[in-house]
Chains A and B, each alone.
Chain A
Amino acid sequence: MTSKFLDERVYEPGDVIFKEGDTSTEMFILQEGKVVITKDVAGHDVFLAMLERGDFFGEMALLDSQPRHATCSALVRTRVVAIKSGELLMKLRRDPTFALEMLQTMIRRIRYLDQQLVELMQDALPSRSQLDKLIAKSEYLNEGRK
């Protein structure tokens, strides 16, 4: 709970916590404040989500070691706890329900993205050949199981 045991960080409004393309791999738990997640699309910042106290973020880079997928900035004065990749397993061992909550959060995101995809496809239904291409692309999902 106290700062001597945790990697606590404080950000002022507008501070960037991580930037799209960064190679940092910590994840963060929001202790106080609000953060906004945005993504650069053709030179414009597109709003993805706003997170509040108790939410966590940055776990994608921690879990797959890929560069940051989006930019995260503090909306107000914000305090976070950082969990480094070498600390996640210990955290899960000491706090096992955190893994369940991470899964629940990711499921909510997948549902949201699925819904967004369906709405986009309703606006412009793809042709059979476009669908075939999409299905061919999605085969990467099964590669890990082969």
Chain B
Amino acid sequence: MITDVREDRLIVTSDTHIGSFFSNARPGLVRLLDYARAEGYNVCINGDGIDVLHSSLTKMTVEASALLPELRRIAERITIYYTIGNHDIILEHYMGDWGGIRLTPFLNVRSGARRIRVEHGHLYDPFLMKHPDLQPALTRFIGWCCRAYPPWYELEERIKHVRYRDIPRLFGRRNVTQSGIERPDENPAFFEAAEEIAQRAFDAVVFGHTHHPGVMPLGGNGAVYVNTGAWSRHPHYAVINDGEIELKPWNG
């Protein structure tokens, strides 16, 4: 298992959920990988690249048989890292090299003079931490709910906004992390985890998992939190050049 790498040019994206009933990200991801190859970037798919929990054998077979040859073709020219998330946790069985793709639980990237942590982030999800045994069944259940009632996902997002933004505002509270940084409308556990990781001399912490793309500072030492969001809504990718990290929308 290789977790420490040197990469001066790296593209990171996440949560394409290929194989899911709700994802049509495969052609776009292949175009992003081709773009990376043409521009001389290596790529990290930062978790939930494929989705075995919101899928069927038929759907996964169709998607995987189309995606894997493309990944192998591109992996002949560039390095593709794949950090494992919660919807593809079964891939832990293949940790290491998997047909030219390097599977890893997280990446510590040295780029220029900076250190960047790339990790899916599901380990810090409060529900998954408390009930890891319930997670696959519950994720499948939510998948069925979304199939039966497509606005379900938007409803879930709305509940998060109310819980993490509207209710604290109602009581005149600001949502801030331990180090006093105001946070967007989602569970503070992810920012606090990113701050904890950044204490180990990381200049940036890149997560996926929450499906909320964005960049925010992490506190005293100038570290930043970057989230590459999800392809089901607004595809984004983070581009790293000699340690400088930037979040961009992907329109390809």
Interface residue ranges, A against B (CB under 8 Å): 1-3, 5-6, 29-32, 53-54, 56, 81, 91, 94-98, 100-101, 104
- Judge if B198 is at the interface, Cβ distance under 8 Å: yes
- Contact partner of A29 (CB less than 8 A), chosen from B3, B106, B180, B199, is B199
B123 with A1: CB separation less than 8 A: no
B37 CB → nearest A CB, Å: 29
1/0 per residue B171-205: CB within 8 Å of A? 00000001110000000000011011111111000
- Judge if B54 is at the interface, Cβ distance under 8 Å: no
Q: Which residue of A lies closest to B197 (CB)?
A: A95
Report the bound CA distance from A3 to B202 in whole Å: 16
Provide a sorted-by-A list of 28 A–B residue pairs whose CB atoms are within 8 angstroms. Answer: A1-B195, A1-B218, A1-B220, A1-B221, A1-B223, A2-B179, A2-B180, A2-B220, A3-B220, A6-B199, A29-B200, A30-B201, A31-B201, A31-B221, A53-B115, A54-B108, A54-B201, A91-B196, A94-B192, A94-B193, A95-B193, A95-B199, A95-B200, A96-B123, A97-B119, A100-B3, A100-B105, A101-B108
Give chain A residues whose Cβ lies under 8 Å from the Cβ of B1: 104
Q: A interface, by DSSP: helix, strand, loop or mixed?
A: mixed
Q: Count contacts between A and B, CB distance < 8 Å.
A: 55
B107 CB → nearest A CB, Å: 11
- Judge if B219 is at the interface, Cβ distance under 8 Å: yes
Report the bound CA distance from A54 to B116 in whole Å: 11
Interface members, chain B 17-72 (any A CB < 8 Å): none
Report the bound CA distance from A31 to B195 in whole Å: 14
